[in-house]
Amino acid sequence: MIPVRKFDAIVVGAGGSGMRASLELARANLKVAVLTKVFPTRSHTVAAQGGIAAPLANSAEDNWHWHMYDTVKGSDYLGDQDAIEYMCRRAIEVVVELEHMGMPFDRLESGRIYQRPFGGHTQSYGSPKMAMRACAAADRTGHAMLHTLYQQNVRANTQFFVEWMALDLVRDPQDGAVVGVVALEMETGEVSIFQAKATLLATGGSGRMFFSSTNAFINTGDGLGMAARAGLPLEDMEFYQFHPTGVYGAGVLITEGVRGEGGYLLNKNGERFMERYAPNAKDLASRDVVSRAMTTEIKEGRGCGEHADHVLLKLDHLGAEVINLRLPGIREIAIKFANVDPIREPIPVVPTAHYQMGGVPTNYMGQVVAPEGASKEAIVPGLYAAGECSCVSVHGGNRLGCNSLLDLVVFGKSSGEQMLKDMRALPMPHRNLPKDAGEATRSRIGRLDGAKSGERVADVLNDLRRSMQAHCGVFRFPEDLVEGVEKIKTIAERAGRTFIADKSKVFNTARIEALELENLVETAMATAVSAEARKESRGAHTRSDFPNRDDKSWMKHTLWFKEGNRLDYKPVHLKALTVETFEPKVRTY
């Protein structure tokens, strides 16, 4: 018998969105369990550097209409405009709330929150004037936010289960409602069922499926794997953002805030090449635009270094004072990982896999939605998702910088509110667990424990990462995509034959890595299959054979199902909540 623990609500993941939701629930005096693979303040939200977007207008004129326009344009018109309006309208409220919780934002002379310009954020609907919208705590905004939220959760008596890994969702066979999760305690190797009236997935992205990534080792798409195995679709997985500036060779993130403060990119001729690609926004164009420009410069032989395979990010002209005050962490990263001091010399950078725009499909209340009968968006009872693992879709084909921290708190909060509302409408006791709850998970672990020989996890993982990097990069070629799908299929078969030499129970990291690989295989499969099928270029998905956006055939969201790699599609929500629709037009910066 698998032991069962009962809670009102379960949150899987303790990053920004998970902890914002758990805070909402714990403040309402519910019994909340937060499961997390690492200590909460070590979640990947801690790596967010540049800021959180909110039109506070502390330094320059701004309003949520402009922010909404920028987000819709940034998404290459694949973002759902109702959700985008919802996010932009709640931005000021959630940022002020963080400030009242004690988040240590940088200040202007007047005492107001310091804001810096950021890529793709403009004034008056895309004018050449950049908006100052990114509320920053030096270059460690995510760090400040995560600690603030953790402290508030401790105060509200949220119960954290640290170093637990959620493995699978438990669904009621009658109506598909989610009634809990099966999870593994790393310390003992024991499996438990967490039973709840509401379950929130807040597990972050799956950047570790790429060879070079700004993501931490924990970002293995666990929530996506859980959803896919439970028969739920994954939405828009072909859209993976490559951040323009990862440290060359190491992949560590260099924030867009560097360019917001006035840094810029150079090729080997010392030319500020972004002026050719984006005459207005220059180095602060959308991320997909900048990454493509950099990749083109390198491809055409204007890269730097002995292999001509990177470009340079110049910020020495900002002066030591600005760098030490506004970008202290960046200086530290550059010295440690690139062996250059940005006060004196430029940083070698290259586009690096960074953020997943796709994920588990949800509405802006955080409820997970999936096709059922005539509806493309039937609500899955008891299941919610927020943050990078979800696809609301506010980011569409490409996310704007510093909209990710905003996404976390807005939808973390809204899903917490919705969970409360839904639980109050339910009959009081928990539903019964299905008879075979947790059996599928046990047999997965049993297979690993019983295997005497097979594929090494590290080998399969490295092949997966290399294939994704080669076949699903910044530019995508038709033959590469077809070949990529076949390669990932082979790798998926191999992942079913992995074995681990260490069969011990206590803190067996090899077992954890093997289970994480199974999740990465689902995300990679979804990405490759969805990308191969989308015959257009939009946002971060750029095909050599279809260089243009095709709104007539492809203005729709992809839905990938694990079973038979089936694809389905659903329309983009073009109708906003209260304002006129922003009609698709050509995207220039």
Residues designated catalytic: 287
What residues have CB less than 8 Å from 236, skipping those under 6 apart? 78, 357, 358, 359, 391, 393, 396, 397, 530, 557, 558
CA distances from 222 to 76, 484, 563 (A): 27, 22, 18
What residues have CB less than 8 Å from 348, skipping those under 6 apart? 247, 248, 249, 304, 305, 310, 311, 312, 313, 338, 340
Quote the strand ranges of 505-555, DSSP E: 542-543
**What's phi and psi for 183, nearest 5 deg?**
-135, 155
Instruction: Give the angle 413-415-419 at the CA atoms, nearest 5°.
Output: 120
Burial grade of 189 (CB within 10 A; 0-12, 13-18, 19 or more): middle
Q: What is the Cα–Cα distance from 491 to 497, expressed in whole angstroms?
A: 10
Q: What is the Cα–Cα distance from 578 to 575, expressed in whole angstroms?
A: 9
Q: Find how far residue 392's CA is from the centre of its chain.
A: 12
Contact 511, 445 (CB under 8 A): yes
Q: Parallel, antiparallel, or unpaired for β 390-391 and 360-361? A: parallel
Burial grade of 336 (CB within 10 A; 0-12, 13-18, 19 or more): exposed
Give the CA diameter of the chain. 69
Phi-psi region of 519 (alpha: psi -120 to 50; beta: other; left: phi over 0): alpha
Q: What is the Cα–Cα distance from 227 to 240, expressed in whole angstroms?
A: 19
For residue 18 the two structure tokens come to 């998970």
Burial grade of 202 (CB within 10 A; 0-12, 13-18, 19 or more): buried
